[in-house]
Homo-oligomer: A and B are copies of this chain.
Amino acid sequence: AILAAIVQRLSPGPLRGRHVIVTSGPTHEPIDPVRYIANRSSGAQGTAIGRALVAAGATVTFVTGPAVVPPPADTTLVRVETAQAMHDAVMAALPADAVVCAAAVADWRVANAGAQKMKKSVDGLPVLTFAENPDILAAVSRLGDGRPALVVGFAAETQDVTRLATQKRARKGCDWIVANDVSAGTCIMGGTENAVTLVTDAGAEDWPRMGKDAVAERLVARMVDVLTAVTP
């Protein structure tokens, strides 16, 4: 954290003095001490965004689930496992000028998670009940006075991407949605490339397929436009 603060103070970029929180990676939701529910997010896109924000001079708090790729350097790093812990870490890291919710957060957790390992021979087939997890994107978007100037969400869809992402933007109350098609054939989830649609109040822009680093740089350039038009 001290190093991050020094790096940030010395860096000349356009986001110098701005605090951005990035969430990244999957969350793991326990079923019992050895089993959990996960998702295929590698953390690659969130990590690339964190790196691009650091390069632009921002002070970055990087809240990550158990990702495959290593986290970006020179950030305040917070490692979490569950959606609830990620929510709490984001709230604790506020205030911020912007929040980028790139993590693939589990919508729900197992309400009847066991303290002991479930036994096939004793328990038979499991009956899992679920509870809704806190919605980090909606919670940040609906903050009153402390709402960040820019709240960016992600949407991983397998069909009808633009329509669903536009609905998601309205439902969550965020400013932008970065939407992508994670269908099996696209090789996006876990891969190095991304083909996204940016949904803002001005509508939907389809960006060409490019590396996740390039998506991150383009997104951060757009963030610079918005954030430098706002008095910090």
Residue positions of A touching B, CB distance < 8 A: 28, 31, 33-41, 104, 106-108, 116-121, 125-126, 128, 130-132, 156-159, 164, 167-168, 171, 182-184, 189
A121 vs B137: C-alpha distance in the bound complex, in angstroms? 14
Q: Are B159 and A116 in contact (CB under 8 A)?
A: yes
Closest 6 CB pairs of A and B: A107-B120, A125-B130, A117-B158, A35-B39, A38-B38, A34-B39
User: For residue A189, which residues in chain B have a CB less than 8 angstroms away from its CB?
Assistant: 34
Q: Is the CB of A130 within 8 A of B120?
A: no
Q: Are A128 and B125 in contact (CB under 8 A)?
A: no
Measured between C-beta atoms, what is the minimum distance from A187 to chain B in Å? 12
By beta carbon, the residue of chain B nearest A37 is B37
Q: Give CA–CA (A107, B122) in the complex, Å.
A: 12
CB contacts (< 8 Å) of A184 on chain B: these are 33
Asked if residues B132 and A120 are in contact (CB atoms below 8 Å), the reply is yes
With contacts A120-B132, A130-B126 taken as known, whether A37 is within 8 angstroms of B39 at the C-beta atoms is no
User: Do A33 and B158 have beta carbons less than 8 Å apart?
Assistant: yes
Compute how far the CA of A128 lies from the CA of B128 in the bound complex, rounded to whole angstroms: 7
For A171, the chain B residues whose CB sits under 8 A away are 121
The answer on a CB contact under 8 Å between B37 and A36 is yes
